[in-house]
């Protein structure tokens, strides 16, 4: 009986390992990015069989960081990569929207855009609030991460006037127009249990709120 259980355990472990290997092998391309106005992170995946999967994740922290030194403890935990009281809400992006967005972003240069630090006009600019957008790209032949400070969607009054930042702004505008972060963020907040929460926005600003509509 003991030998049978050991065999069952072995085959279960082997199957799980094979499934994980197959999952990793099946991934063709991954785009990941964060935005400045909201705490969401987005992951878009294209698989070898031409299927797609997209996910928006939003991290919230329970409690009031202004009470009883909680802010100091949380800040210390964040810098140690050990946040406490963390709730992550996830929203799936439809496969069709994921496919269309990945194709559009590729055409706009998300894989080939120059790093800001390699461009004098971009790198020489200084900003005050510290907000930024970040991108992480992974394909069979490419792995890179890059970011831009204070890039916001184009609203006709804030068009970037340098070539590289203008290209980055087009990427950000496409992402915002496709995913409606404000609506998705409000939906995430409404799913929270009642109580005090806060989130960390790009630039390390803390926004506190109280959830009344939650479960």
**Domain contains 87:** yes
**Domain contains 117:** yes
Token digits for 89? 């809400």
What does pLDDT average to in each consecutive run of 10 residues of the chain (215 residues)?
48 48 71 90 96 96 68 53 75 98 98 93 77 92 93 89 94 96 93 91 78 71
For residue 47, give the nearest of 129, 122, 102 by alpha carbon: 102
- Total domains in the chain come to 1
Rg (CA), the chain: 21
Q: Which residues span the domain enclosing 175?
A: 28-211
**Domain contains 79:** yes
Position 165 scores a pLDDT of 94
Position 104 scores a pLDDT of 98
Is the separation of the CB atoms in 40 and 185 below 8 Å?
yes
**Domain contains 14:** no
**Domain contains 177:** yes
**Domain contains 15:** no
Position 126 scores a pLDDT of 75
Position 78 scores a pLDDT of 52
Q: pTM score, two decimals? A: 0.78
Position 125 scores a pLDDT of 79
Task: Report how far residue 166's alpha carbon sits from residue 171's, in angstroms, rounded to the nearest whole number.
Answer: 9
């Amino acid at each position: 009986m003991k030998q049978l259980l050991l065999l069952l355990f072995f085959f279960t472990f082997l199957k799980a390992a094979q499934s994980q290997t197959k999952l990793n092998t099946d991934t063709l391309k991954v785009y990941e990015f964060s935005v400045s106005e909201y705490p969401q992170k987005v992951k878009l995946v294209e698989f070898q069989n031409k299927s797609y999967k997209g996910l928006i994740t939003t991290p919230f922290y329970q409690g009031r960081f202004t009470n009883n030194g909680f802010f100091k403890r949380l800040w210390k935990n964040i810098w140690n990569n050990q946040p406490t009281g963390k709730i992550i809400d996830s929203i799936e992006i439809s496969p069709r929207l994921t496919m269309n967005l990945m194709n559009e972003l590729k055409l706009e240069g998300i894989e080939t855009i120059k790093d800001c630090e390699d461009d004098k006009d971009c790198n020489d600019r200084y900003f005050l609030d510290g907000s930024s957008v970040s991108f992480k790209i992974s394909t069979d032949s490419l792995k890179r991460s890059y970011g831009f400070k204070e890039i916001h969607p184009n609203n006709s009054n804030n068009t970037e006037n340098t070539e590289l930042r203008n290209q980055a702004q087009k990427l950000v505008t496409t992402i915002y127009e496709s995913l409606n972060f404000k609506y998705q963020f409000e939906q995430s907040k409404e799913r929270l249990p009642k109580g005090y929460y806060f989130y960390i926005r790009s630039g390390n600003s803390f926004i506190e709120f109280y959830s009344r509509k939650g479960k």
